[in-house]
Structure 1
Amino acid sequence: MAEDPVIPRLQDGGDENHDPDAPLFDGDVEVSSGGSKGELDIDLSNLPTDPGLRKKNSEYPSNIRDNVRRAYLLNGPYQPDIEFPQTKGNEDENRKFVIDWYKEFTWIEYSIEKDAAFCLYFKGGGDAFMATGFKNWKKKQGLRDHVGGPISAHNQAYRKGQDLLNQSQHIETVLQRQSSQARSEYRVRFKASVDCVRFLLKQGLAFRGHNETTNSNNRGNFLELLEFSAFLNKDIKDVVLQNALENNKLTAHVVQKDIVNSFAVETTNVILKELGDAFFSVLIDESRDISVKEQMVVVIRFMDDKGCVIERFLGIVHVRETTALSLKAALEELFSKHGLSIGRLRGQGYDGASNMRGQFGGLKTLIMNENESAYYVHCFAHQLQLALVGVAKNHPRIALLFNLTSNALNIVRVSCKRRDLLREKHTSKVIQKIQSGDILSGQGLNQETALKRSGDTRWGSHYGTLVSFILMHSSVIDVLEVVMENALTSEQRGEACALLDQMQSFEFIFNLHLMKDILGITSELSKALQREDQEIVNAITLVKVAKQRLNAMRNDGWDSFFAEVSSFCVKNDIIIPNMDDPFIKRGRSRRRVEVLTNQHYYRVQLFIGCIDLQNQELENRFNEVNTKLLLCMACLSPRDLFVAFDKEKLIRLAQFYLRDFSSKSLMLLSNQLETYILDTKKNTVYPLVYMLMTLALILPVATAGVERAFSAMNIIKNKLRNRMADDWMNDILVTYIEKDICETIDDETIMQRFQKMATRRGQL
């Protein structure tokens, strides 16, 4: 009889809610980076990176010293790119560490704490590289002397370090005497685990289950997927799970986490290699996760060697406080971990919160105190949201519009019964319009819609809310009428009655369409600003286009707008006031109100007044950014055959970056610009012009990349996985967000890194 297919039960949770009665290792006693008592207190992923702050290896418990050394060797030498301090030589000559030594002496490490050089490999004897650090910057020969000949202490230490990473040299491996068949089975089993981890990371799914015993129905996605893979592939089935050695199944939780960490580290390494030594900008924001931990997301923006603007997720850091000093300390720690330097920053992008952009104590100021070339740009998308919605609410009648729509949403969406009733009402009206020929039917048309709730932190959401209200206005009215008649309390009936009165007035419909059109003009701008490859020069152009469209609507759009509003009112039986009649404002005596016509009130005070507020705020908001800097950047735009090209402004732009353009470079730049505009060749011909373009393009426009990371965090760390550890969440987020890079990393690379992370029973 044929065997029933084993279907994987992919589950969306349980990752950190493991059944305490289930075996932790499920028979797998793999020797790895955790497990012993002395090792539990040591976080190998967060060891001090600065060699001047590291403890001696002898200070660690003897059973984990090899793992500590292995962790440092895997991370490579600490080589920060900073403004190295100068020290006085014997002849009163200013000397300092030379950054080119990193390339010439690949083993060298620099300690910011001690302003000294150390050796990654050599950890014994009385050599200065081990004790106090090498500081004699005048004598480069001292570095060569340290390396010495083939049998020098340094080279012996280097070979021992390589042997530590090469586990085939370990005595434990020799004693095990693995056969070629055992190695082959280990590789197949290992690759099956890696493939399962890769799939789960790509989908953002949980790994662990509540009960991972053999007979459990909730063993977790990893074990279910591994079993399904074994069902499909006989070669895998013969060596995994029950057919594997009890102490080498490669299914333990610590093994899964080590494989995930290998993916995360290799993904980050690709990003850092892609960045190289190029300048970059940083986008930062902080938010709480489901477990009420404050998390700071860091995204870097740079130009690759092909001239494309790239935004990459660097990491997420748990911060205990959201003060500017705490955020800066967390950023420096993350940079130090990845060998990055604040000195390479050429831009900062935040959402405008006081702790981020404060003039005196914000994160922006703290960074600029160290690097004056790290110019700050207030997120354009946030500015747009504040300008369009926040300012519109300053008008009392527009503020009333948003309050009414919010209240209507609360009533209509408060229960499943009312939501279902709204869907039924809207569906029946759509069917009637199709039958009467008012609307067309076809593939993709008349999809089911719903009322959308707006949010001040969700860009463009107010526009979607107003559009859905216009489309479903009559259906909302029908539901409110039902609520008014059948609600359980008098308060609910009274609120529904008040909303019915307001929402069927001409003024509500007028304001609803007015804000829909105003937000619609900038809707495409909002979406464009959120593109990862958007650059600041084009963003300025988009803002300019939005201003032009608003002016066109103000000067020439009244007739078409009023016709649209009137048509809607006729279809929904809403009374249209005579525009020549006197306007009567609600709630005030006519004797105390200035006499004005409906035409003047609706056209001048509402229509023109709201548009003028928007224009004024757009002008103020987008002039808030360093105007001179942006105007200079606009001269680099290639639109219309470089019509905006202005050599003097571009030289002024270069003067903003004194770290990158010396006095001599500024003189050469003038000549290169003259030739460049006549003969636009490749960047190798005009390196200084290309440098200007790079600096202009890497300035951040919007923090959309950060917002996407927070959205991913909500997927990864949900209610069922709310106890997820910080490092575990960071590793999964890196691979999930940068899945396009993660997919390019071959299994062999992951397996080799995993193998070097700790002493393994099996060998490849």
Structure 2
Amino acid sequence: MSDDSDPKRLSKKAKTLDSWLKKIREDQNNSAPLTSSEHQHVPSPILEPRESVPSAPASNTDSSHSTIIDEHHPVISPISEPREFVPSVDPTPRDSIPTPPCSNIDSALLNEQPPVTSQTHEDIDFVIGDLERDPGKRVQIYEYPVNQQDHVRRSYIKLGPYQPKLFEYPRVRYELTNKVEILKNRLRLKTTIESVRYLAYQGCAFRGHDESVDSRNRGNCVELIKHTAKFSPEVAKVVLENAPKNATYISPRIQKQVLNILANKVRKHIRDEVGDSSFCILVDEAQDSSHKEQMAIILRFVDTEGFLRERFFDIVTVEDTTAGTLHQEISKVLLHHNLQVERMRGQEYDGASNMRGQWNGLQALFMKDCSYAYYVHCFAHQLQLTLVSASKKIDPIWEFFSSLSTIVNVICASPKRLSEFHVAQVTHICDLIDKYDATCTVLEFIMDDKSTESLSAGASGAYNAKSQDILNAMNLVEVTVHSLQNLREHGWEDFLEKVESFCKQHDIDIPAMDCQYSASRRRRYCQQRSITTEHHYRVDVFYAAIDFQLVELNGRFSERAKELLILSSSLDPADGFKAFNIDNICTLADKFYPQDFTRQELHSLRSELIIYESDVPHDDVLKTVTTLSELCREIFETTRSQRYQMIDRLIRLVLTLPVSTATIERAFSAMKRIKTILRNKMENDFLADNMIVHIEKELAENYDADSIIKDFASMQDRRVQFE
């Protein structure tokens, strides 16, 4: 057995180590702690192997000297390995084991562990539950003692995010406002609103070339505010130079916002008028002063009170006038205002190919979306095209109007010639009449004859009356056709007498009607025919002009449109409901409006018509009604609309059918007044807002300045307070 495994030797070694550690603890308790400058490296005597421990020299001196180790030599541990590898210890007496001077050794250095100090809740001056959660009220972390900051930070992290729950969150104000300031702010903005409203009504410009304080003309809006301030000291105290510099409310951006609020209110009013009822669209396009294509959209509908309305709704700039582009832009406008295409029951445009095309035209595209949106060609355009077409096909009439147009252009091109024309005598004009004596006389008679007044009245009524219904327009066309037919068959003798009277009054030579007619360029042709002068003017001019007009009037309507109009005429209240026919009315509802009437409602319609026939024509108020639009209003006012619900619905659908694009023509006239050459850079949205307020001013009058101020304040955070 080796020395390392000897139990006696190991036991002796353990006793030596215990006594050495006990002595170190006693010296530590009896000595003071070392300062930072007195710290020395004191190696543990148990970290080095025994072989490196120097033994005391053998001498005959006193044994006490053998146990003293020089303090400058490091103390080497007699044991450096673990217990299982403890080396042999030399048999030196226990009292002679060298001991290091360990009076200044720190226990922390000996154990090689830093001192551990624990901190309890008693050492902290706060409780986690008492921490202020509001970030605006709590104490900042850096204000706590240094030894508490980390603990406070960890406590807030443990508590998590926090947001105060308030009933009303305070808004940041740039100035202290009170009731007096609020009244001043409202008065200042109200002055701007009324100025913008007035300029929009009149179609005037808003801005000026130079709006600086030193300018003599700061623009219409600012100058109108200055004019208002002259007659109101209260306004003068709060506007322009007396207003806060950051809230004068006269900038172009503010003007556009005010106008946009008013325009949106008008659009919302129109949308509310339409409601869930059916409507019709009237569309046309024209170029503005900046050569942009503008498309105007008009809505035609019957409101809840039975009034027929045609409202200007919007104007849109289009890149081109193809049917696809127009269909896309119109659909966007309708969708934006929640107007469903399925509720459309009519569409009216001019006779251009991109509009009326049967396969790829605009009306065909909307018919694909809604098969009951019937297309009606503008009656005013049809009457105009009828006259133009008839005048072009009759040579004498065409020559007269061509020469007349040339003469007008020559005269109007020069102020001098125009002035001479105004002061000219009748004898000077007779040269023109003498050259085209017969043609001029025919046209003058057509203008003065009462039998043809219905044609002019029809065109004039179609252009000027917004409430013109399609039955009334068709009646005017029928009256015109009958009048022209009667004039052709029985009016030549009376017409010739008036011509001779006119020529004698103005000293115009009257050709002999019984003589053979001859013309310089058609002499050979006329000689071959051997016709008289009376025959030429009666057949070649008079009859031909009337025949062409009749052909054009009869050929301007499709078969489907004619059938729709014929069936609709059964509702016409003219002449004491003379055209009333129950079967035609039921066929109209069943064939042309199947989506608006179910089978059960069609049976109810026939039952109502039976009672309606014996009630309405004998009523003292309703029997005097002459138009369908008047009948619709009277039915509502007499509360018969509740009794005859199906009949009232059908009348409203027929009234929705358009007649003319007169409202669009008025809209384009307003566009020319608003967007002039000097204002040709106007933005599209600003133009649309201007036009709807200018055209529908009777609706804009319903909204006062207070309602506009409320919407203006809610648009965004303002620098001043209005409420």
Same fold (TM over 0.5): yes
Q: Which residue of 2 aligns with 1:627?
A: 562
Q: How does 1:2-401 map to 2 (within 5 A)?
A: 171-173=171-173, 176-401=175-400
Alignment-mate amino acid for residue 586 of structure 1: S
The one-letter code sitting in structure 2 at the alignment partner of 1:225 is: L
- 1:678 partnered with 2:614: yes
Q: Aligned partners of 1:169, 1:526: CA distance in 2, in Å?
A: 64
Q: Residues 213 and 547 of structure 1: is their aligned pair in 2 closer, same or farther, counting only changes over 3 Å?
A: same
* TM-superposed deviation, 1:171: 2.3
SS across alignment from 1:715:
helix
Q: Per-residue displacement from partner, 1:539-571 (whole Å, max 9, x unpaired)?
A: 111111111221222223223322332233233
1:506·1:577 contact (CA, 8 Å) conserved in 2?
Answer: no
TM-score by length of 2: 0.71
Q: Is the 8 A contact 1:395 1:610 kept in 2?
A: yes
| Gap change, CA 1:311 and 1:392, over 3 Å in 2 | same
Give the Cα separation in 2 of the matches to 1:521 and 1:623.
Answer: 23
Q: Name the Cα RMSD after superposition.
A: 2.1
Please, which runs of 5 or more residues in structure 1 have no aligned partner? 1-158, 430-472, 478-499
Q: Is the 8 A contact 1:287 1:294 kept in 2?
A: yes
Indicate how the Cα distance of structure 1 residues 400 and 293 shifts in structure 2: closer, same or farther if over 3 A, else same.
same
Q: Tell me, in whole angstroms, the C-alpha distance in 2 between the residues paired with 1:505 and 1:362.
A: 42
Q: What displacement does 1:382 show?
A: 0.5
Counterparts of 2:668 and 2:360 in 1: how far apart (Å)? Answer: 25
CA contact (8 A) 1:505 1:574 kept: no
Residue number in structure 2 paired with 1:555: 489
Q: Which residue identity is paired with 1:631?
A: I
Query: Cα deviation per residue 1:194-228 (whole Å; 9 max; x = unaligned)?
Result: 11111111111110000011221231110110000
Task: Return the alpha-carbon distance in structure 2 between the equivalents of residues 266 and 325 of structure 1.
Answer: 30
Question: How far did residue 589 of structure 1 move?
Answer: 3.7
* Preserved contact between residue 282 and residue 347 of structure 2 (Cα < 8 Å): yes
Match of 2:501 in 1: 567
* C-alpha contact (below 8 Å) 2:445/2:498 kept by paired residues: no
The equivalences for 1:555-704 within 5 A come to 555-590=489-524, 593-622=528-557, 626-655=561-590, 656-680=592-616, 682-704=640-662
- For 1:335, the aligned partner's letter is L
Q: Are the equivalent residues in 1 in contact too, given 2:357–2:364 (CA < 8 A)?
A: yes
Task: Give the distance between the partners of 2:443 and 2:301, measured in 1 at CA.
Answer: 41
Structure-1 residue corresponding to 2:401: 402
The structure-2 alpha-carbon separation of the partners of 1:366 and 1:623, relative to structure 1 and needing over 3 Å to count, comes to closer
Question: What are the within-5 Å matches in structure 2 for residues 711-726 of structure 1?
Answer: 711-726=669-684
The alpha carbon displacement at 1:625 in A equals: 6.0
Contact 2:323/2:355 (<8 A) preserved: yes
> CA separation in 1, counterparts of 2:608 and 2:439?
59
Instruction: For 1:603 and 1:732, locate their aligned partners in 2 and report how far apart those are by CA, in whole Å.
Output: 54
Give the 3 Å change call, closer, same or farther, for CA 256–169 of structure 1 in structure 2.
farther
Q: Where does structure 1 differ by over 6 angstroms across 4 or more consecutive aligned residues?
A: none
Question: In 2, Cα distance between the equivalents of 1:665 and 1:562?
Answer: 58
Distance 1:711 1:275, change over 3 A: same
Is the counterpart of residue 744 in structure 1 residue 702 in structure 2?
Answer: yes
Change over 3 Å in CA distance of 1:316–1:624 after alignment to 2 = farther
The aligned amino acid for 2:172 is E
CA distance in 2, matches of 1:368, 1:755: 44
Matched positions, count: 532
Q: Give me the whole-angstrom Cα distance separating, in 2, the residues matched to 1:699 and 1:265.
A: 27
Partner of 1:99: none
Shift, 1:511, TM fit: 4.2
Q: 1:377 to 1:505 in 2, by over 3 A?
A: closer
Structure 2 residue 440 is the aligned partner of structure 1 residue 509: yes
Cα distance in structure 1, aligned partners of 2:324 and 2:485: 44
Q: Is the 8 A contact 1:299 1:311 kept in 2?
A: yes
Task: Describe the SS at the equivalent of 1:295.
Answer: strand
**Aligned-residue offset at 1:509:** 2.7
**Residue-by-residue CA offset, 1:397-450 (whole Å, 9 max, x unaligned):** 11111101111112221201111111222xxx5xxxxxxxxxxxxxxxxxxxxx
**Aligned equivalents of 2:432 and 2:289: distance in 1?**
40
| 8 Å contact from structure 2 (residues 278, 343) kept in 1 | yes
Question: Which residue identity is paired with 1:525?
Answer: G
Aligned residue for 1:532?
466
What's the counterpart of residue 760 of structure 1? 718
Sort the Cα spacing of 1:169 and 1:399 in 2 relative to 1 into closer, same or farther, 3 A. farther
Q: Which has the higher contact order (CA 8 A, sep 6+)?
A: 1
Which residue of 1 is the match for residue 58 of structure 2?
A: none
Deviations 1:173-199 (A, max 9, x none): 3x5332222111101101111111111
* Residue of structure 1 equivalent to 2:133: none
For residues 216 and 176 of structure 1, the distance between their equivalents in structure 2, rounded to whole angstroms, comes to: 31
Partners of 1:207 and 1:245 in 2: CA distance:
22
Q: 1:589 to 1:600 in 2, by over 3 A?
A: closer
Q: Distance in 2 between matches of 1:343 and 1:353?
A: 25
Instruction: Report what 1:90 is aligned to.
Output: none
> Is the alpha carbon distance of 1:623 and 1:551 closer, same or farther for their aligned partners in structure 2, counting shifts above 3 Å?
farther
Q: Would the aligned equivalents of 1:558 and 1:603 in 2 still touch at CA under 8 Å? A: yes
SS at match of 1:684: helix
Amino acid at match of 2:585: L
Letter in 2 for 1:417: K
Determine the C-alpha separation between the residues in 1 that align with 2:614 and 2:169.
Answer: 63
Q: Distance in 1 between matches of 2:472 and 2:443?
A: 31
2:628 paired residue number: none
CA distance in 1 between partners of 2:501 and 2:589 (Å): 56
Larger gyration radius, structure 1 or structure 2: 2
CA-to-aligned-CA distance 1:682-731 (integer Å, 9 cap, x gap): 11111111111011001000010111101110011011101101000000
Structure 1 position 510, deviation (Å): 3.0
**CA–CA distance in structure 2, aligned partners of residues 645 and 277 of structure 1:** 29
- Secondary structure of 2:513's match? coil
- Aligned partners of 1:252, 1:676: CA distance in 2, in Å? 61
CA contact (8 A) 1:398 1:511 kept: no
- C-alpha deviations, 1:113-171, integer Å up to 9, x for none? xxxxxxxxxxxxxxxxxxxxxxxxxxxxxxxxxxxxxxxxxxxxxx99xx9xxxx9662
Aligned partners of 2:236 and 2:242 also within 8 Å = yes
Q: Deviations over 1:275-311 (max 9, x none)?
A: 1111110100011111010011000000011111000
Secondary structure at 1:310 match in 2: strand
CA 1:633–1:250 in structure 2 vs 1: closer, same or farther (change >3 Å)?
A: same
User: Does structure 1 conserve the Cα–Cα contact (< 8 Å) formed by 2:175 and 2:720?
Assistant: no
Q: Offset at 1:375?
A: 0.7
Q: Quick one: distance in 2 between partners of 1:307 and 1:603?
A: 49
In 2, the alpha carbon distance for the partners of 1:213 and 1:660 equals 61
Partner of 1:205, secondary structure, is: coil
Return the letter of the residue paired with 1:172: V
**Aligned position for 2:66:** none
The aligned counterpart of 1:523 is: 456
Q: How far, CA to CA, are the matches of 2:170 and 2:454 in structure 1?
A: 68
8 Å CA contact 2:205–2:220 kept in 1: the answer is yes
